[in-house]
Amino acid sequence: MHTTKLNIDSILPLTCSRSGTCCFGKNVMLNPWELFNLSSEKKITTRAFRDLYCEFGGIRLRFDGKPDKKGQQACSQYVDTIGCSVHLGRPLACRLYPLGRKVQFDKAHYIYEGDTFPCLTDCPEVLELPKLSVGDYLKGQEAALFEKAQDEYLIVMQNIADIGFELLLESGLSASGDTKTLATWRVMGNELPELLAERIGQEWLDYLMLPAIIDTQHPITFAQNHNELLLLKAQEKFGAIQTNQELHEASVLMIGLALHLARALGADPKSIAEHWIATAKNHGAQE
Ligand code: SF4
Ligand code: SF4
């Protein structure tokens, strides 16, 4: 879909009329820090929140509430007459809406989908409300920490993928003439999220979305501690493996996990998988 690009000073009808119409039929992805925040706000464990309200191992909020007039189901956190039941812990996608955020070459920019400002479709009354700059809107939404979480988890994603690269390129697997590992990376890039989650398995989905971190509210420390836990787990699990079949499976698992996290961060797993395959080929891997 065509997108309209904005800069931080763009002035738009960004005062929300709070009708809640955008809490229906959306695709709200979650990184692990967002899942942690939502469950803290709901005052239940992260595991309970994940199991009750999320899909694909915790990377997407479930939209299974009462449908609106268009038949689009409400977010699992939406309560009739009240609105969002987790307002203070709501994820970045909800803080940004109707804007989206793209990171390219380490620089973030803001967009909205289509040529018409999205709120005008369901809440035309916004035209009567004060207009705001993108920068002021983001401040009002307290989006900064959530953007930091998003950016830090992109680094975690790359670090997990690096383990998958090492298991292929530095273990002798690639040098042995292996071709099936890259072929499986490609399959995973195209795989439906429910199938990729199944392939990854519950144990590693839990490591990805339910890290044993309870003592920090700051997203950068949280993501860095999580990164450390994931690397330790990989060392523990893969430190002693020897056969090419074991190396193949471990490499596939780490790339699958990184692609699942990519989807949680709103990135396109297919293009990321293609990019990683091309990089691995440049370093001698074959398909
Ligand atoms: S569509 Fe826009 S104005 Fe309407 S509730 Fe959502 S953010 Fe607010
Ligand atoms: S988390 Fe809250 S703001 Fe976000 S879609 Fe659900 S109900 Fe709406």
Residue 39 in any domain: the answer is yes
Mean pLDDT value across residues 194-213: 97
In a shared domain, residues 17 and 76 = yes
In a shared domain, residues 62 and 109 = yes
Q: Is the pLDDT of residue 81 over 90?
A: no
Asked if 53 and 213 count as a contact pair (C-beta separation under 8 A), the reply is no
Domain boundary among 101, 129, 144: 144
Share of the chain above pLDDT 90, in %: 89
Asked if 27 and 73 count as a contact pair (C-beta separation under 8 A), the reply is no
User: CB within 8 A of 176, min separation 6: which ones?
Assistant: 244
Side chain identity at residue 221, one-letter code: T
19 lines ligand 1 (CB under 6 A): yes
Residue 191 in any domain: the answer is yes
In a shared domain, residues 128 and 149 = no
Residue 287 in any domain: the answer is no
A 10 A CB-CB count for 278 gives 10
In a shared domain, residues 138 and 160 = no
Asked if 18 and 119 count as a contact pair (C-beta separation under 8 A), the reply is no
User: CB within 8 A of 149, min separation 6: which ones?
Assistant: 31, 33, 34, 92, 219, 220, 222, 223
Mean pLDDT value across residues 62-78: 95
Q: What is the pLDDT of residues 232-264, one digit of tens each?
A: 999 999 999 989 999 999 999 999 999 999 999
- Which of 9-13, 55-59, 214-218 is modeled with the greatest confidence? 55-59
Whole domain around residue 38: which residue ranges? 3-144
In a shared domain, residues 153 and 140 = no
Domain boundary among 89, 110, 144: 144
Nearest CA to ligand 1 atom 1: 119
What total number of domains does the chain contain?
Answer: 2
Mean pLDDT value across residues 256-283: 97
Mean pLDDT of the chain: 95
> What is the CA(30)–ligand 2 centre distance, in A?
12
Domain boundary among 121, 144, 167: 144
In a shared domain, residues 119 and 150 = no
User: CB within 8 A of 143, min separation 6: which ones?
Assistant: 92, 95, 96
In a shared domain, residues 134 and 182 = no
In a shared domain, residues 17 and 50 = yes
Nearest CA to ligand 1 atom 7: 16
Nearest CA to ligand 1 atom 3: 16
Q: What is the pLDDT of residue 94?
A: 96
Q: Which helix (H) or strand (E) holds 111?
A: strand 107-113
Q: What does pTM read for this prediction?
A: 0.95
Q: What is the pLDDT of residue 217?
A: 73
